Amino acid sequence: MSQPSIVRTNTAELYDAYVMKNYGRPPLTLVRGLGVSVWDDTGREYLDFTSGVAVAALGHCHPSWVAAIRQQAGELIHVSNLFRNPNQGELARRLVEHAGPGRVFFCNSGTEANEGLIKLARLHGLRKSGEEGKCIKIIGAKYAFHGRTFGGMSATPQEKIQKGFRPLVPGFVFGELNNLQSFVDLVDENTTAIFLETIQGEGGVTPCTDEFLWGIRKLCDQHNLLLMLDEVQCGIGRTGTFYAFQQSGVRADAIGMAKGLGGGYPMGAIWAADKHADLFTPGSHGSTFGGTPLACAAALAVLDVMARENLLQKVTINGAVWKTELEKLVAEFPTQVKEITGRGYMLGLVVHGEPHAYINALRDQGLLAPAAGTNTIRLLPPLITTKEQLDRATAIIRSVLSAKKQTKQS
């Protein structure tokens, strides 16, 4: 029997013909990764400071992570949450160790984690008021990003996210990040929660100040509100502590997490403090794929490597030195660079004007980095990134800024 003919075409043509055009992708096809580097289909190497948008916490194909995935895939992949599996129980225990006394729910993504937080807030409102649909007001922050489901979009006050999908979920209002009074002014008898990213990612790499978080904590305590922190992008060691909010010393009532937790395998989770964990009862929330043996094996491998390789301390030390080096660019290129924001391995290079011309030039020089907000280049290296690799990235950034400066002057 003759073999069927195979029609061969390149990836760009396949995308052009069959993939929905909801992403503005650059002309780049990545085919391999190892550590902090990725390679395209021409064999060119790049430093990957996107980390899959803060997902590849251990970089690409870390041998311990790969071994854990392979072993678990040969034993048990999926059983659903109709049954227990050992990996899920162990992962929940370790997340509680990091977050404090409470319980964990597993899902598949940051958007799902945030959707679960919104549902938790609604249940808290019901407990407060005794009347379903009355106490549903959630106060978020301007320029936030919490996902693209209807709950996530409704909590994300950005026109580019919400346009075309109205009417949205009711009950969301927004204060100005780091302006405590703007949140105080929004609290009323129908308020059930305050929902914040500890560091706004998509909105421009803008951290909550310690003073602001402490003020929000006090406000929540005064009015019996849930303090829900979105640590999807800034959590799991990215800033040098396991959760970014831990640097302020405040406590959360609930945390949403994902991205780096699975190290590249889809994994999300919610932690809720003991006082609020019983809001979810059998049947009130669920996930078919949440917390599978394979997903939890991936996450456990991430936590193992973070501990064994002392990555939190390395991110703290290297990140502080790196930020200091990047801040020199503000003085060197004052007409191009406005400031450096963020912490650890989640930094923002804020430029004067639109960032994509710089991002394209960085890619041409071998450094991949995404945008944030309207004027920020986001720098999200894997947690394994060495000082030498950070220095290499800084040199590329300086080279691009210098070339752009000369072009403007000529």
- Secondary structure of 116-173 as H, E, C letters: HHHHHHHHHHHHHHCCCCCCCEEEEECCCCCCCCHHHHHCCCCHHHHCCCCCCCCCEE
The residue segments making up the domain with residue 28 are: 11-62+310-409
Structural domain contains residue 5: no
What are the tens digits of pLDDT across the range 136-176?
A: 999 999 999 999 999 999 999 999 999 999 999 999 999 99
Instruction: Give the mean pLDDT of 128-135.
Output: 95
Instruction: Give the mean pLDDT of 120-149.
Output: 97
Measure the CA–CA gap between 300 and 307, rounded to whole angstroms.
Answer: 11
pLDDT for residue 297 = 98
Last residue of a domain, one of 286, 308, 330: 308
Helix 63-73 and helix 293-308: axis angle, to 10°?
A: 150
| Pair 33, 70 in one domain | no
**9: its two tokens:** 């075409």
What are the tens digits of pLDDT across the range 356-410?
A: 999 999 999 999 999 999 999 999 999 999 999 999 999 999 999 999 777 776 5
Measure the CA–CA gap between 117 and 256, rounded to whole angstroms.
Answer: 7
| Pair 208, 329 in one domain | no
Find the CATH number of the domain harbouring 376.
3.90.1150.10
Structural domain contains residue 95: yes
| Number of domains within the chain | 2
For all residues of the chain together, what is the average pLDDT? 96
| Pair 273, 343 in one domain | no
By C-alpha distance, which of 93, 103, 99, 119 is closest to 274?
Answer: 103
Q: Would residue 230 show up in a list of annotated catalytic residues for this protein?
A: yes
* H/E run at residue 115: helix 110-129
What are the tens digits of pLDDT across the range 78-107?
A: 999 999 999 999 999 999 999 999 999 999
Backbone phi, psi, residue 386, to 5°: -85, 165
Residues 137, 259, 314, 323: which is the catalytic one? Answer: 259
| Pair 89, 227 in one domain | yes
pLDDT for residue 410 = 59
Q: Would residue 165 show up in a list of annotated catalytic residues for this protein?
A: no
| Pair 81, 42 in one domain | no
What three-state secondary structure class fits 386?
coil
| Pair 58, 85 in one domain | no
Residues 106, 145, 183, 333: which is the catalytic one? Answer: 145
| Pair 318, 403 in one domain | yes
Find the CATH number of the domain harbouring 92.
3.40.640.10
What are the tens digits of pLDDT across the range 32-63?
A: 999 999 999 999 999 999 999 999 999 999 99
Q: Would residue 185 show up in a list of annotated catalytic residues for this protein?
A: no
| Pair 211, 344 in one domain | no
Last residue of a domain, one of 308, 330, 363: 308
Structural domain contains residue 3: no
| Pair 168, 292 in one domain | yes
Question: How much is the pTM?
Answer: 0.95
DSSP 55: T
Measure the CA–CA gap between 156 and 192, rounded to whole angstroms.
Answer: 17
By C-alpha distance, which of 267, 345, 241, 314 is closest to 68?
Answer: 267
pLDDT for residue 41 = 93
Last residue of a domain, one of 281, 308, 335: 308
Measure the CA–CA gap between 203 and 197, rounded to whole angstroms.
Answer: 10
Residues 105, 230, 242, 333: which is the catalytic one? Answer: 230
Residues 6 or more apart whose Cβ sits within 8 Å of residue 358:
351, 377, 400, 401, 404
What are the tens digits of pLDDT across the range 190-239?
A: 999 999 999 999 999 999 999 999 999 999 999 999 999 999 999 999 99
Q: Count of alpha carbons within 13 Å of 390, Cβ hemisphere only? A: 25
Structural domain contains residue 2: no
